[in-house]
Amino acid sequence: MKPAVSSAPVALRVTRGQIIARGLTHRCPNCGAHSLFRENAWFRLNSDCRNCGFAFERGGDEGFFLGSMSLNYGVTLMGFLLPVALLAFFGVVSGRVAVGLAVGGAVIFPMLFYRSSRSWWLMNYYFFLPHHLPANGGTGRAGGDANT
């Protein structure tokens, strides 16, 4: 006999609102612990959460965080370089100042935004696929559960 399948949506233990809040504050998307990045190392993501063991690094899917680089480039362009160009265009700053700001900012801004871009990329993934989180019954990855 075939088991009855419910078409009712399964309630999420971790909601999309919680995923956004955790992503914006660089917390584990699964449990909310402050363990996404290593202490005293700005550019080092922990391989997994120290609280719940959720794996941040994706063995076998090295390209996963390429999206965070694209996000970082996009935010640098729209959030810093475009405003500098507009300031120069409208004569608020001189061309030399704008070039100096653009060159310096194109290096410094992505470095400062690095942690947010990683965290926001994880947030983006689990916002659209919240059922992949272990707290919501998934395995953390696509293809690991019936909800792929």
Binding site for Zn ion (CB under 5 A): 28, 30-31, 33, 49, 51-52, 54
CB nearer to Zn ion: pick between 22 and 120 = 22
Helices (H) and strands (E) in the chain, counts: 5, 0
Contact between 105 and 98 under an 8 Å Cβ cutoff? The reply is no
CB nearer to Zn ion: pick between 80 and 126 = 126
Token pair for residue 64?
Answer: 């996963």
Work out how close the CB of 89 gets to Zn ion at its nearest, in angstroms, rounded to a whole number. 46
CB nearer to Zn ion: pick between 29 and 76 = 29
Work out how close the CB of 68 gets to Zn ion at its nearest, in angstroms, rounded to a whole number. 19
Q: What are phi and psi of 48, to 5 degrees?
A: -155, 170
